Chains A and B, each alone.
Chain A
Amino acid sequence: MSVLRPLDKLPGLNTATILLVGTEDALLQQLAEAMLKEDCTSELKVHLAKSLPLPSNVNRPRIDLIVFVVNLHSKHSLRNVEESLHHVDATFFLGKVSFLATGAGRESHCSIHRNTVMQLAHTYRSPLLFCDLEGTQVRALVREDLTCHRATKPMYHNY
């Protein structure tokens, strides 16, 4: 079983790769588009995956940041994320993993309690963002947060 490791490949020059993991295709697509619209000095690549482990036969660049997307309206998405977490190396959790929970705004449609996701993020020592991907302003907020998040991590090393 392949496990994602943060330093198993050489970093790309001036590029950052973000991996979004989640069951909701439309949601991931929206988030990816929002992130790519953002102007930044380095090149940004966004990969989407339904779950981990990723197929090992594909040649892909080094993943710099993993964002696990949980939809609070769907227990299935939470189970999917929980199972995917097992395929991530422990060293990834030193700041290269982030959780994103959507759907908190519509309380009447929630089938997962907020605390469950908070507990998950707390267990994995990773930050958690709550947002609803419905407004453009919110998308901007998410972009900002994720970009700041990215920017604080060393994206490339000059050996």
Chain B
Amino acid sequence: MDSYDAPESTPRQCASSGLKDYFIGATPLQKRLESVRKQTSFIPTPPRRKIPQCSQLQEDVDPQKFAFLLHKQWTLYSLTPLYKFSYTNFKEYSKLLNAFIAAEKQKGLAVEVGDDFNIKVIFSTLLGMKGTQRDPEAFLVQILSKSQLPSEHREGKVLWTGWFCCIFGDSLLETVSEDFTCLPLFLANGAETNTAIIGTWFQKTFDCYFRPLAINAFNLSWMAAMWTACKMDHYMATTEFLWSVPCSPQSLDISYAIHPEDAKALWDSVHKTPGEVTQEEVDLFMDCLYSHFHRHFKIHLSATRLVRVSTSVASAHTDGKIKILCHKYLIGVLAYLTELAIFQIE
């Protein structure tokens, strides 16, 4: 039976052995090697059990502080650990990045009509944006347009925002040495050209690597279940799903909207263990939706691809776009995304 599974397990092994060669002799690494060896053994791992972080906020998050992060569409990237990054050098980083952006723009690589070269880059920490005490501090990078008028109190318009965070990133933190800062989740809002330039600067300066974080249908259904499970005082938006049917010449999209209270009622009837979400519950929740749809429209939604999930807590698209609507569950949503990012890095 071993030989049949070989094609599947080899790629994962190669990826982790590449990382292994980089850090030599670290004990946490040897622990990880052990776990990798266990993974390639032939007993399949048990179904994942997730505890929704929804109702647990480790830090006392001030809603005002993070209000600017809500209701914005963020594009997700996974980021490998940053080498020799220091929270005290923010002023220097701002200057360097500012110069880099100006140089890139003048090179003509990313010139947009009406682009203002008078920009200012600001690095700042986001205090409290973490899951446990071990998580490194999250930080924010913003590109602001310098106002033309001489008045100092006038804040420039924010052109681009990007922030780096790590929520409950223990599995990654254990394996890296002191020189590295682990902030595996990167969220960007703004022009794609700016994201590319800033990404290049970070990659050159800290020897890290960005990769767009796609969310597959499996994870989207987990998100749908976890966010529906969150207790809300009042619902701001309907719960909506979007499926993409592969057919020629153009793909067909099926949208299914449910009243959020009905979705919650369905979840409550499916949910058994308090405080935990299991694979069976997620499957049952989605199967109820699929069978209801099939009864009415004779279409097997399970044969199509789930592309977008939208609830009152947050909405996510398979291309790696997320919009968080509720500050109460901000940390919970980010925790799951951090896990996906870490999984992609590994």
A and B from one complex: yes
Is A112 within 8 A of B7, CB to CB? no
Give complex CA distance A141, B279 in Å: 33
Is B218 within 8 A of A77, CB to CB? no
Q: Does B18 contact A (CB under 8 A)?
A: no
* Residues A145 and B4 in contact in the complex (CB < 8 Å), given A108-B318, A111-B306, A115-B47: yes
Q: Does A33 contact B (CB under 8 A)?
A: no
Is A141 within 8 A of B7, CB to CB? yes
Is B43 within 8 A of A122, CB to CB? yes
Q: Does A3 contact B (CB under 8 A)?
A: no
Is A109 within 8 A of B44, CB to CB? no
* Residues A127 and B303 in contact in the complex (CB < 8 Å), given A108-B216, A115-B45, A122-B43: no
Is B8 within 8 A of A110, CB to CB? no
Which chain A residue has the least Cβ–Cβ distance from B307? A109
Give complex CA distance A119, B45 in Å: 8
- Minimum CB–CB distance from A79 to chain B (whole Å) comes to 7
Is A112 within 8 A of B4, CB to CB? no
* Residues A119 and B44 in contact in the complex (CB < 8 Å), given A75-B302, A114-B8, A145-B4: yes
- Minimum CB–CB distance from A142 to chain B (whole Å) comes to 10
Q: Can you show 25 pairs from A to B with CB atoms below 8 A apart? A: A74-B304, A75-B302, A75-B303, A77-B303, A79-B302, A104-B8, A108-B214, A108-B215, A108-B216, A108-B318, A109-B217, A110-B216, A111-B217, A111-B218, A112-B218, A113-B48, A115-B44, A119-B44, A119-B47, A122-B44, A127-B4, A128-B4, A128-B5, A130-B8, A141-B7
Give me the 9 closest cross-chain CB pairs, A-B, nearest first.
A111-B217, A76-B303, A75-B302, A76-B302, A118-B44, A108-B214, A127-B4, A130-B8, A74-B303
